[in-house]
Amino acid sequence: MITALSWIPKGSLKAVPDAAEPPSKEEIKELIESGAFVGSVDGSNEDEEEIEEEEISEVDHAKAVAEAFGKSSNSKSSSMEVDEVAAAMKELDMDNYDEEDDGIELFSSGIGDLFYASNELDPYLKDADDDDDDDEEDIDDTTIKPTDSVIICARNEDEVSHLEVYVYEESSNGSPNMYVHHHIVIPEFPLCTAWIDCPLKGGDKGNFVAIGSKETPTIEIWDLDVRDEVLPCLQLGGIEEMKISKKKKSKKEKIKKPKYKEGSHTDSVLGLAWNKEFRNILASASADRKVKVWDVATGQCKITMEHHTKEVQAVAWNHYAPEVLLSGSFDQTVVLKDGRQPSHSGFKWSVMSDVESLAWNPHCEHSFVVSLEDGTVKGFDIRAAQSGSDSDLRPSFTIQAHDQDKGVSSISYNTSAPNLLATGSMDKTVKLWDLSNNEPSCITSHKPKAGAVFSISFSADNPFLLAIGGSKGELHVWDTLLDANVSRKYASKQS
């Protein structure tokens, strides 16, 4: 399944990513001491003995089958070998070898000749040219061009989690080409991602992705310009140490209560948001009911907020006022905090259902939308909240966007067309909405065969391309302008 995805701006990746260096002994030791491999030593002796017995019995069975097969086939294979040798010798006609009177023809015509009048006639050189063409195609596939669109997907398949870097190539014939350029194996089940261009390794810009995962408080930041990396370049929070007792105790007593790093979350990280204005700032939402603001340049937590009473699912920075942060929670509220007024308690909206996703309107600094577990999407104007009246905290509009028993898991605003919003749901559909004048209308509905939809995102470089990921684990890119209703309404806005 694809749990999260993000577009990377064109030209941000290196044309050819660097090769990763293997981890040092110190890094491996640190991983072991941090408890990264604690699951492998947490089993009881009895369990290990049972596994060993099962493995031995399976090996014995396999050996017995192999031996039986070998015995039954020995006689057949030996007779076949004799027949094959006899046939080969007959074909060579070795008895009459010395009687052949045909000499070697040095200059002849046709394939298999020893000499050809030109390189163009030599089939072997032609094949070599073909091989060169294949090599050039391979090199072209590994080179990321400035015109290529790139999508990163957090994916889990067969209990293995990894981050895939997709290249999406547009073509003149209208048939785009999309393929996985490289991937990074990650240790935990991913839940959310955020692309970051903060230059963590020097220079003007970087190319990194932050990942929040299930059942771990650590936020990992990976360098997308490095292939085959085995360790993140930075970790925010996490477990300081986890020592395993060697004494024979019950399973619960073997592992001591973890000691967390200073400022760390203490549960799964459910949401991430990068601040595009203050490029070293990252916000995180967690199942520990906290919202945190991190400085990725120093790796330190700068602010911790505890204004929610249940798991915090999503966070989002305002596009126009980058100090303003929204957070949405399973306590069925959305809270706005303004970093310019740290003593202010903020504003809170009750949304009557668990929050799934948040998005600020990129064309208006005062409005945002929130998607909910009950299939609805609600829009709000923060100016109403600033008036101080509780009655003004009501939504500007409410849409029953998807099935009532299926949550709207993801939403995305189009950066080119004002009031165009995409919604993705657990009901396996994606819909486009026109939110003009706070009177929403559905433009079109699409079923991408992605399964339950977990994440959608419009591209900033190609605004009408919508990336879609879901339970089936296949990335889909929907060119929304191919839909007649969308094309009729927004074709003039294509850039």
Q: Residue 220 to residues 231, 234, 333: CA-CA distances in angstroms?
A: 9, 6, 28
Q: What is the pLDDT of residue 340?
A: 83
Q: What is the pLDDT of residue 98?
A: 56
For the ranges 97-111, 119-133, 209-223, 375-389, the one whose mean pLDDT is highest: 209-223
Question: C-alpha angle with apex 482: 477 to 488, nearest 5 degrees?
Answer: 135
Q: What is the pLDDT of residue 446?
A: 95
Token look-up 């990763």 returns: 20
Token look-up 């240790």 returns: 187
Question: Does residue 42 or residue 355 have the better pLDDT?
Answer: 355
CB under 8 Å to 10, separation ≥6 — which residues? 146, 147, 148, 149, 150, 461
- Map 265-276 to HEC letters: CCCCEEEEEECC
Q: What is the pLDDT of residue 44?
A: 41
Mean pLDDT, rounded, for 168-187: 86
CB under 8 Å to 292, separation ≥6 — which residues? 237, 263, 265, 283, 284, 286, 301, 303, 304, 305
Euclidean distance between CA atoms 245 and 41, whole angstroms: 10
Q: Which token pair is 375?
A: 């299939």
Mean pLDDT, rounded, for 378-396: 78
Task: Provide the residue type at 239 as one letter.
Answer: I
Mean pLDDT, rounded, for 267-276: 96
Q: What is the pLDDT of residue 32?
A: 64
Q: What is the pLDDT of residue 43?
A: 41
Reported as a single tens digit per residue, the pLDDT across 441-461 is 999 999 999 999 999 999 999
Q: What is the pLDDT of residue 20?
A: 76
Per-residue pLDDT band at 481 (split at 50, 70, 90): very high
Reported as a single tens digit per residue, the pLDDT across 259-271 is 899 999 999 999 9
State yes or no: pLDDT of 364 exceeds 50.
yes
Euclidean distance between CA atoms 30 and 230, whole angstroms: 14
State yes or no: pLDDT of 241 exceeds 70.
no
Average pLDDT, the chain: 81
Q: Residue 163 to residues 229, 245, 272: CA-CA distances in angstroms?
A: 11, 34, 16
First to last CA, the chain: 32
State yes or no: pLDDT of 107 exceeds 60.
no
> 209 φ, ψ to 5°?
-130, 130
Euclidean distance between CA atoms 25 and 28, whole angstroms: 5
CB under 8 Å to 353, separation ≥6 — which residues? 332, 372, 373, 374, 376
| DSSP of 253-304 | HHBPPPEEPTT--SS-EEEEEE-SSSTTEEEEEETTS-EEEEETTTTEEEEE
Task: Provide the residue type at 295 as one letter.
Answer: D
Task: Provide the residue type at 344 as one letter.
Answer: H
Burial readout 273-305 (b: 16 or more C-beta within 10 A, e: otherwise) = bbbeeebbbbbbbbbbbbbbbbbbeebebebeb
Q: What is the pLDDT of residue 77?
A: 46
DSSP code, position 206: -
Q: What is the pLDDT of residue 130?
A: 58
- State what percent of residues in the chain have pLDDT above 70: 72
- Map 142-195 to HEC letters: HCCCCCCEEEEEEEEECCEEEEEEEEEECCCCCCCEEEEEEEEEECCCEEEEEE
- State what percent of residues in the chain have pLDDT above 90: 55
Per-residue pLDDT band at 325 (split at 50, 70, 90): very high
Q: What is the pLDDT of residue 92?
A: 60
Task: Provide the residue type at 200 as one letter.
Answer: L
Say what the pTM is.
0.76
